[in-house]
Amino acid sequence: MLLEINFFGLSNLIPTLFVLVKTSALITSIANIILLSGMLYVYMERYLKVKSKFTTTLVLFSLLFLVQNILFSIYFVFNLPETIINAVLPLIFLGLEFTALALLLMITRE
Protein backbone atom coordinates (compact mmCIF):
# COMPACT_ATOMS: atom_id res chain seq x y z
CA MET A 1 0.00 0.00 0.00
CA LEU A 2 2.81 2.41 0.88
CA LEU A 3 4.47 1.60 -2.43
CA GLU A 4 1.26 2.49 -4.26
CA ILE A 5 1.02 5.86 -2.51
CA ASN A 6 4.61 6.66 -3.40
CA PHE A 7 3.99 5.46 -6.95
CA PHE A 8 1.19 7.97 -7.53
CA GLY A 9 3.19 10.83 -5.95
CA LEU A 10 0.89 11.20 -2.97
CA SER A 11 3.59 10.71 -0.33
CA ASN A 12 4.09 14.47 -0.05
CA LEU A 13 0.36 15.13 0.21
CA ILE A 14 -0.05 14.03 3.84
CA PRO A 15 2.62 16.37 5.30
CA THR A 16 1.33 19.20 3.12
CA LEU A 17 -2.22 18.69 4.36
CA PHE A 18 -0.97 18.57 7.95
CA VAL A 19 0.82 21.92 7.51
CA LEU A 20 -2.30 23.38 5.91
CA VAL A 21 -4.51 22.23 8.79
CA LYS A 22 -2.00 23.53 11.33
CA THR A 23 -1.90 26.98 9.76
CA SER A 24 -5.59 27.22 8.82
CA ALA A 25 -6.56 28.38 12.31
CA LEU A 26 -4.10 31.25 11.96
CA ILE A 27 -5.48 32.10 8.52
CA THR A 28 -9.05 32.02 9.83
CA SER A 29 -8.08 34.23 12.77
CA ILE A 30 -6.56 36.76 10.37
CA ALA A 31 -9.77 36.67 8.30
CA ASN A 32 -11.71 37.38 11.52
CA ILE A 33 -9.42 40.35 12.18
CA ILE A 34 -10.25 41.72 8.73
CA LEU A 35 -14.00 41.28 9.32
CA LEU A 36 -13.79 42.88 12.75
CA SER A 37 -11.84 45.82 11.36
CA GLY A 38 -14.64 46.38 8.85
CA MET A 39 -17.24 46.14 11.59
CA LEU A 40 -15.30 48.55 13.79
CA TYR A 41 -15.13 51.03 10.92
CA VAL A 42 -18.89 50.87 10.34
CA TYR A 43 -19.68 51.09 14.06
CA MET A 44 -17.32 54.03 14.57
CA GLU A 45 -19.01 55.91 11.71
CA ARG A 46 -22.39 55.32 13.34
CA TYR A 47 -21.06 56.22 16.78
CA LEU A 48 -19.77 59.57 15.52
CA LYS A 49 -23.22 60.33 14.08
CA VAL A 50 -25.49 58.96 16.82
CA LYS A 51 -23.40 58.66 20.03
CA SER A 52 -25.83 56.39 21.82
CA LYS A 53 -25.20 53.66 24.40
CA PHE A 54 -25.99 51.01 21.82
CA THR A 55 -23.40 52.22 19.31
CA THR A 56 -20.84 52.57 22.12
CA THR A 57 -21.51 48.95 23.06
CA LEU A 58 -21.11 47.84 19.44
CA VAL A 59 -17.75 49.61 19.21
CA LEU A 60 -16.59 47.97 22.45
CA PHE A 61 -17.90 44.59 21.28
CA SER A 62 -15.93 44.73 18.04
CA LEU A 63 -12.83 46.07 19.82
CA LEU A 64 -12.84 43.23 22.35
CA PHE A 65 -13.26 40.61 19.64
CA LEU A 66 -10.51 42.29 17.63
CA VAL A 67 -8.11 42.17 20.58
CA GLN A 68 -9.04 38.53 21.22
CA ASN A 69 -8.30 37.54 17.62
CA ILE A 70 -5.04 39.48 17.52
CA LEU A 71 -3.88 37.74 20.71
CA PHE A 72 -4.99 34.38 19.34
CA SER A 73 -3.05 34.99 16.11
CA ILE A 74 0.09 35.92 18.04
CA TYR A 75 -0.32 32.80 20.17
CA PHE A 76 -0.69 30.61 17.08
CA VAL A 77 2.39 32.12 15.42
CA PHE A 78 4.56 31.06 18.35
CA ASN A 79 2.72 27.86 19.34
CA LEU A 80 1.64 25.91 16.28
CA PRO A 81 -0.25 22.76 17.27
CA GLU A 82 1.66 19.52 17.11
CA THR A 83 -1.25 17.21 16.30
CA ILE A 84 -4.18 17.40 13.93
CA ILE A 85 -6.68 17.25 16.82
CA ASN A 86 -5.08 20.26 18.48
CA ALA A 87 -5.29 22.14 15.17
CA VAL A 88 -8.84 21.19 14.21
CA LEU A 89 -10.60 22.19 17.44
CA PRO A 90 -9.56 25.88 17.31
CA LEU A 91 -10.29 25.86 13.59
CA ILE A 92 -13.88 24.76 14.23
CA PHE A 93 -14.32 27.53 16.81
CA LEU A 94 -12.76 30.17 14.56
CA GLY A 95 -14.74 28.97 11.55
CA LEU A 96 -18.00 29.34 13.44
CA GLU A 97 -16.87 32.75 14.68
CA PHE A 98 -16.00 33.78 11.12
CA THR A 99 -19.45 32.73 9.90
CA ALA A 100 -21.19 34.64 12.70
CA LEU A 101 -19.08 37.76 12.11
CA ALA A 102 -19.65 37.62 8.35
CA LEU A 103 -23.40 37.45 8.89
CA LEU A 104 -23.27 40.27 11.43
CA LEU A 105 -21.22 42.45 9.09
CA MET A 106 -23.61 41.70 6.23
CA ILE A 107 -26.60 42.77 8.33
CA THR A 108 -24.72 45.79 9.68
CA ARG A 109 -23.92 47.15 6.23
CA GLU A 110 -27.58 47.09 5.13
Torsion of Cα atoms, 53 then 54 then 57 then 58, to 10° = -150
pLDDT (tens digit per residue) in 52-106: 999 999 999 999 999 999 998 898 888 877 777 888 888 899 899 999 999 998 8
Q: Is residue 35 within 8 Å of 105, Cβ to Cβ?
A: yes
> How many residues are listed for the chain in this entry?
110
Range of the domain at 88: 2-109
**Total number of domains constituting the chain:** 1
Q: Say whether pLDDT at 44 is over 70.
A: yes
For residue 56, give the amino acid letter. Answer: T
Distances (CA, A) of 103 to 7, 39, 42, 53: 45, 11, 14, 23
